[in-house]
Amino acid sequence: MIKRLQVEDYIRAIPDFPHEGIMFRDVTTLFGDARGFRMAIDLLLHPWAGLRIDKVIGLEARGFILGGAVAHQLSVGFVPVRKKGKLPWKTIAQEYQLEYGEAIVEVHEDAIEAGEQVLIVDDLLATGGTAEAGIRLAERLGGEIVGAAFVVDLPELGGRKRLEDLGIEVHALCAFDGH
């Protein structure tokens, strides 16, 4: 019998990266397989079928790849949320906590119009800090968050609960134990 591959079968685990004790979930192997990548994009879209979505936010950096593909499939605009200093136009910024420190992300101040329905997309949900920062930026511009979609959830780090406590619907394609 032929085993049907699932999204998690395409994800490589790399021990002790970027720090000892961390099991890094590498989605570049998913991106590099045409069938796996297509499956992931289709599954990321599925929960939002039939809903109005005006913009997709992709979170730096792997969220750009996923978010761009999702936006293309939905025929809507794509908005990159980038690390501080990487966008060329007027921006608004949001500070947030990472698993290993602090960071700042930015979005162009004209990227989202008031009332637009926004979907957040990224590869991995850990503590939820980056996703919450993206949500805060979109809301500050008047966007309304439809939901957040991720390839991987790391439930032990609490990101899903953090976003759900904000009233955000969260969808993840797979989950892994650990960090």
Task: Name the pTM for this structure.
Answer: 0.95
**pLDDT over 90, % of the chain:** 91
Averaged confidence pLDDT in the chain: 96
Q: What tokens appear for 27 in the block?
A: 């989605």
- The band of 97, judged by pLDDT with boundaries at 50, 70 and 90, is confident
How many separate domains does the chain show? Answer: 1
**Residue 83 placed within a domain:** yes
**Residue 72 placed within a domain:** yes
**Residue 27 placed within a domain:** no
CATH number at residue 153: 3.40.50.2020
**pLDDT over 70, % of the chain:** 99
Q: Could you list the residue range(s) of the whole structural domain that residue 96 is in?
A: 51-175
pLDDT tens digit string along 5-29? 999 999 999 999 988 998 999 999 9
Give yes or no for residue 38 having a pLDDT over 70: yes
Give yes or no for residue 166 having a pLDDT over 70: yes
Distance in Å from the first CA to the final CA of the chain: 34
pLDDT tens digit string along 122-155? 999 999 999 999 999 999 999 999 999 999 999 9
The residues assigned a catalytic role are: 62, 99
pLDDT tens digit string along 77-88? 999 999 999 999
Q: What tokens appear for 8 in the block?
A: 């998690």
Report the run of H or E that residue 160 belongs to, with start and end: helix 159-165
- The band of 99, judged by pLDDT with boundaries at 50, 70 and 90, is low
**Residue 91 placed within a domain:** yes
**Residue 106 placed within a domain:** yes
**Residue 101 placed within a domain:** yes
Nearest to 134 by CA among 61, 43, 30: 61
Q: Do residues 66 and 122 touch, judged by C-beta distance below 8 A? A: yes
**Residue 33 placed within a domain:** no
